[in-house]
Amino acid sequence: MDPLTHALSGALLVRATAPPAQSSEQVLPLRARILVGFVAAAFPDLDLALRLIDTLTYLNWHQGPTHSLAMLPVWAFLLSCLFSRLSRRQYSWKVFYWPVCMGIAIHIAGDLITSYGLMLFAPFSMQRISLSLVFVIDPWFSLIIIAGLFFSLRFPRQRVFAVCALVGLLCYVSFLWNLHERAMNIGVAYADSQAMKKVEINALPQPLSAFNWKIIIQDGQTYHVAYINLWRDRVSQQYVSDVWLLQRMMVAYRPYEQAMWRRYYQYGNETYNLQHANKAWLQPEFEKFREYAVFPVLDRIDHDSNETCFWFFDLRFQFPELPPSFSYGVCLENKQSSWRMRRQRGVFLID
């Protein structure tokens, strides 16, 4: 989820749960409470600072300990103490604690339903958990939150609007869950039609529409991938190379009856690629990329007079009409035995 939507969701939740009356001086004023929820819900994304080290460090630790339920009480206590000091001890840290907890918790929930995966139980377990229901930027998700906050500010004495917005979010997530199940069923049907056994099927939400999904069927070192739109029953227009980029991207998501399944191979589909790409993949210099990649694919092998490079990307971050994001290569200089990792920049700033 994008950082602004996270922060707004925290403000919405603490507004919806604000006490109806402020009978004690140790109860935060409503505006202060909303501000605390806003800041607390933005806090877990402080791990963006890892980009200052390098991109792969960030990719491997993003949505890590700062997004952990096990660590939530610790972060909430520290943030509450900070807020108390900023208020010049006017309010005890205990007054801030529950609004901060709610802000961090709704941030964790927001990232849990994206496809990246978060370390929900760090530091006790580094396993990433994901429900893969919503794309990282979802305008409808954000608009529901914004609408709830707008009417809450318009009618400050009424929290019913914030409560209704939270209920709306739950209904929208339930709708996305249904779409996810439909996409998974399409993957199951295709695997059965191809007599594929013991495969892993994943459905990942995609940009531009909640009805756009990428289905990845992993069969050993082979991936079968299709871009599906669950709303259209036919392709509304033909592919034209000179139309707007977003139009070309939308056309790539096809009705499931017209789905175009493409195969990708982790180490390529030629004997040379299989042998040498596997060797390159296992190099110690490539360890950080191996930790990050969930669906790694050999993109290409570059040869020149100085070195040979094996370029890989993760299918999670490949979208129609765009080059893959976070593409990395491991290169061997000719006449030498040392390997080194290289990074290829993509079209987005974060690449």
Query: Residue ranges of the domains in the chain?
Result: 3-131, 180-265, 271-344
Q: What is the pLDDT of residues 25-70, one digit of tens each?
A: 457 889 999 999 999 999 999 999 999 899 999 999 999 999 999 9
Q: What is the pLDDT of residue 240?
A: 56
Structural tokens at position 287: 């360890």
Q: Is residue 270 scored above 90 in pLDDT?
A: no
The better pLDDT of the pair 233, 222 is held by 222
The pTM of this model reads 0.92
Q: ∠ CA 291-292-298 to the nearest 5 degrees?
A: 100
- Return all residues near 36 (Cβ < 8 A) that are at least 6 apart: 14, 28, 83, 96, 99, 100, 103
What distance in Å separates the CA atoms of residue 18 and residue 29, rounded to the nearest whole number? 9
Q: Is residue 144 scored above 50 in pLDDT?
A: yes
What distance in Å separates the CA atoms of residue 262 and residue 60, rounded to the nearest whole number? 28
Q: What is the pLDDT of residue 277?
A: 92
**For residue 306, what pLDDT band results from cuts at 50, 70 and 90?**
confident
Q: Is residue 130 scored above 80 in pLDDT?
A: yes
- Return all residues near 32 (Cβ < 8 A) that are at least 6 apart: none
